Structure 1
Amino acid sequence: MTIFGAGLDQAVGLTETLFHHARLADDQGLDLVSVSDHPYFGDRLDAYAAIGVLLGRTSQVSGLVNVTNAIRQAPMLARTVTTLSAMTGGRIVLGMGAGGSWEDIARLGARQLSPAEAVRAFAESITVVRLLSGGGEPVTFEGEFHRLTDLAPAETPTPPIWTGSVGPRSLKVTGELADGWIPGHAADWLSTRYRESRPIVDEAATGAGRTPEDVATIYNLPGRITKTPLNEPRVNGRWAGGDVGQWVEELTGAVLEHRAGGFILFPADDGTPVETVLGRWAREIAPAVREAVSRNQPHDHRVTG
């Protein structure tokens, strides 16, 4: 099933608005809500604290930190996400990356890693999270960046792991180890970034004894949902939005022709109330795309499982 989610604003002064929008997403049947993780910005709520409270105030929607900041060490991250999964019936997706801004991360006190080190740490972090979930015998692990000594894994299964990989080495890790890939810089299915990056993921997946279908592509998608059609739904080659019919046609093509696994909408700041945008997204666009896809070539990219 094609995934439909919504990106939420986690400004410190807008907590009631954040709760309201998360409950709307839940009530209207969206699959997940997403928040970002930039703990060096004091005007934003902490991502995991926020997502935990949001999951506690909803009943169906999953939560995604899009993506987890590299300052969060993998052993503690594993404990956090398995706890959230256990307390919510599996309503958590783990977003991971190699670190998009190491200068900012270093301001939090972390040692700044080189690009090559960051990718190795990223791969090792995914391995550690998997080792510390799903039950089994106590784990001892000696890695380049992590050391575990006789730690019992959580019984909770590993949540789906989606990455925000950008560079070739990071994309290779995604193909080898992850369940989903979120193209960087809000690239869409017609972008050069997607066309050049997705084959690296697919080749790595195949080389690891997996299939390309094991790694869904989930798009962060800024855009407008308008009352009437737009003459130019693409701006400089990038999808920018349109009315419900234009969205349905475009996203259906993205799934059927370009293997899109899902979409996370980030509403444009164009004066349209977010409540209106979420309603159109959840009640009109998502069901129409799913119906069109099911009539042609069903896909089963699930949030959990």
Structure 2
Amino acid sequence: MSTREVVFGFGAHSTIEDVPALLEMAQLADREGLDLFSLSDHPYVGQRLDAYAAIGFLVGRTRNLAGFANVSNLPTRPPAMLARTVTSLAALSGGRVVLGMGAGGLWERIAAMGVDPLTPGEAVEAFEEAIVLVKKLAGGGPPVTFDGRHYRVDRIEPAPVPAPPVWTGSVGPKSLAATGRVADGWIPGHAADWVSPRFRASRPVIDEAAKAVGRDPGEIRTVFNLPGRITDRPLAATRDRDGRWLGGSPGQWIEELTAAVLGHGASGFMLFSPRGGTPDLASVGRWAGEIAPAVREAVARHSA
């Protein structure tokens, strides 16, 4: 998956009883040309599908759709094993996987799984180490020895396939800087979009950290989790009083997303329901069939 192309997908928070509907949605998205789907990763919730088991199932039932955990619950998934999981998924699916990474948020729930809690600073250190280690354990080469503060491996053979792109859910300045140093993409937290104060304050932190280690900030994509309604008729206002995107007609979506790509460097959009949950099947169909192709076409015209 190129870091330059604009990608479109949908996000889901699926329970075990949602399996038939989730499969139907993924197969519709695959037929209609969407790029990827994402699943939340909350392993302490018994009703939820395990994100990686579900990703493997869905990429096995589709042809072109990529999957990722939005974002992986790193404290419950040791990075050496996570590396094995994502490189295996990449090998099985022809590269149709992205590694979403987070430092961990709901620490009381995480600790209830038997994981020792970390301070915020320790969690960010572990997060950066984990990304580095996952990348070292991919792409072939000699055995890897890694002696970090939080993670260690001793002469472990890397998988002979490339590491998937790593997109983070970084929020705080230290985590954002880590994204700039070692990750390939960023998903702004709290469904913040390109006109939000959060985006305007956070993206420069990523860019400066990337430059400081000799990376091109333009190679780190920004992918937005985007809740909203797709309506038959234009809305009088597509944003609320706080500036948050509400949605609108396909034409309003197309105009807004094209401007986000051309004016704000957006490189991906994940559709969620207006309240941030799984969108309905009809909305995914319109997103895939009407909105995504038109935005791609408008961006291509501008770039020609």
TM-score (norm: length of structure 1): 0.95
The residue correspondences of 1:151-190 to structure 2 (distance < 5 A) are 151-190=156-195
Helix, strand or coil at the partner of 1:197: helix
Of 69, 74, 94, the residue aligned with 2:99 is 94
Q: How far does the alpha carbon of each residue in 1:68-102 deviate from its partner, in whole angstroms, 9 at most, with x for none?
A: 00211100000000000000000000000111222
Q: Distance in 2 between matches of 1:187 and 1:268?
A: 13
Q: Which residue of 2 aligns with 1:79?
A: 84
Q: Which residue of 2 aligns with 1:285?
A: 291
Of 260, 281, 285, the residue aligned with 1:275 is 281
The residue correspondences of 1:84-163 to structure 2 (distance < 5 A) are 84-163=89-168
Q: Which residue of 1 aligns with 2:271?
A: 265
Distance apart, 1:11 and its partner CA: 1.4
Q: Which residue of 2 aligns with 1:35?
A: 39
Q: Distance in 1 between matches of 2:205 and 2:152?
A: 30
Q: Which residue of 2 aligns with 1:302?
A: none
How many aligned residue pairs are there?
297
Q: Distance in 2 between matches of 1:287 and 1:226?
A: 17
Of 16, 22, 29, the residue aligned with 1:25 is 29
| Residue 68 of structure 2 is aligned to residue 64 of structure 1 | yes
Structure 1 runs, 4 residues or longer, greater than 3 Å off:
none
Answer yes or no: is the 8 Å Cα contact 1:8–1:21 preserved in 2. no
Q: Distance in 2 between matches of 1:269 and 1:96?
A: 23
Answer yes or no: is the 8 Å Cα contact 2:11–2:279 preserved in 1. no
Of 248, 252, 260, the residue aligned with 2:258 is 252
Call closer, same or farther: CA 1:131–1:246 in 2, change over 3 Å: same
Q: Distance in 1 between matches of 2:200 and 2:257?
A: 17
Q: Distance in 2 between matches of 1:286 and 1:104?
A: 37
Distance apart, 1:9 and its partner CA: 3.6
Q: Which residue of 2 aligns with 1:44?
A: 48
Q: Distance in 2 between matches of 1:163 and 1:102?
A: 18
Q: Distance in 1 between matches of 2:275 and 2:124?
A: 34
Q: How far does the alpha carbon of each residue in 1:268-289 deviate from its partner, in whole angstroms, 9 at most, with x for none?
A: 369x982211111011100111
Once structures 1 and 2 are overlaid, which stretch shifts more, 229-238 or 183-192? 229-238
Q: Distance in 1 between matches of 2:94 and 2:102?
A: 25
Helix, strand or coil at the partner of 2:271: strand
Q: Distance in 2 between matches of 1:210 and 1:297?
A: 24
Q: Distance in 1 between matches of 2:274 and 2:102?
A: 25
| Residue 58 of structure 2 is aligned to residue 54 of structure 1 | yes
Q: Distance in 2 between matches of 1:30 and 1:284?
A: 11
Answer yes or no: is the 8 Å Cα contact 2:272–2:279 preserved in 1. no
Q: Which residue of 1 aligns with 2:227?
A: 222
Call closer, same or farther: CA 1:121–1:264 in 2, change over 3 Å: same
Distance apart, 1:267 and its partner CA: 2.6
- Structure 2: 5+ residue stretches without partners: none
Q: Distance in 1 between matches of 2:23 and 2:301?
A: 35
Call closer, same or farther: CA 1:273–1:109 in 2, change over 3 Å: closer
Of 3, 17, 20, the residue aligned with 2:7 is 3
The percent identity for this pair of structures is: 58
Q: Distance in 2 between matches of 1:180 and 1:273?
A: 23
| Residue 302 of structure 2 is aligned to residue 296 of structure 1 | yes
Q: Which residue of 2 aligns with 1:303?
A: none
Distance apart, 1:140 and its partner CA: 1.1
Q: How far does the alpha carbon of each residue in 1:160-190 deviate from its partner, in whole angstroms, 9 at most, with x for none?
A: 0000000000000000111100000000000
Answer yes or no: is the 8 Å Cα contact 1:256–1:297 preserved in 2. no
Answer yes or no: is the 8 Å Cα contact 1:175–1:204 preserved in 2. yes
Q: How far does the alpha carbon of each residue in 1:251-281 deviate from its partner, in whole angstroms, 9 at most, with x for none?
A: 00000000001100013369x9822111110
Helix, strand or coil at the partner of 1:148: strand
RMSD: 1.4
Q: How far does the alpha carbon of each residue in 1:90-136 deviate from its partner, in whole angstroms, 9 at most, with x for none?
A: 00000001112222211111010000000000000001101100000
Answer yes or no: is the 8 Å Cα contact 2:10–2:270 preserved in 1. yes
Q: Distance in 2 between matches of 1:297 and 1:191?
A: 26
